[in-house]
Amino acid sequence: MDLLKLPAYGPIIPVIVVEQLEHAVPLAQALVAGGVRVLEVTLRSAVALQAIEAMARAVPEAVVGAGTLRTVADARAAKDAGAVFAVSPGFTPELSAACRAAELALLPGVSTASEVMQANDHGHHFLKLFPATAVGGIAMLKGLSGPFPDVSFCPTGGITPETAPQFLALPNVKVCGGSWLCPKELLARGDWAGITRLAQEASQLRAA
């Protein structure tokens, strides 16, 4: 898929950690009901790949991707599970090549100008700035806009509902990643209505 189409689905991509497989489908349904269709399921749990498969099969309205890809094996497994895009915390040529071979669109993570250049050399011009607030946040993105006018970013890491509009106001920011849409306490008690409310609020966020 074309990664640049992802922002058309809404301003926030939820960063999701599924610890219990039975949460996967109702969580995806709750997010989609709230207007959030792009779902990044991170490979940070034992059931992550199964969760991706379950979401992709049971909730066809969702655009399900895999996050926290680090290796060639991760890329292959994510594709096999049904992910249509991938997100990585950093960039390596090997991971880029593996995703390309698997026809899995990759949003690679960067945190320095040198990493932006390396990603560009391998054909990536829509990048994840991670961990966004820790590496300079808005000031960093403004700084990168000068030498990289052709590069767009999805800042992730430390973004909140309060700060997201400030990031979205930057010309080189297309969408933000946020973990606040799927808090552990709501997942633990199966509060899917609460997740839907958070998704509705996130889908209405606009540039400051």
Catalytic residues: 40, 128
Distances (CA, A) of 185 to 45, 144, 147, 192: 17, 36, 42, 11
The neighbour count for residue 61, using CB atoms within 10 Å, is: 9
Q: Are 181 and 205 in contact (CB under 8 A)?
A: no
Residues with Cβ within 8 Å of 188's Cβ and at least 6 positions away in sequence, in order, are: none
What's at 162, amino acid-wise?
Answer: E
The neighbour count for residue 1, using CB atoms within 10 Å, is: 12
Enclosing H/E stretch for 79:
helix 72-81
Beta-bridged to residue 64, according to DSSP, are: 39
Enclosing H/E stretch for 120:
helix 113-121
Q: Are 171 and 150 in contact (CB under 8 A)?
A: no
189: three-class secondary structure by DSSP: coil
Cis peptide before 161 (omega within 30 of 0): no
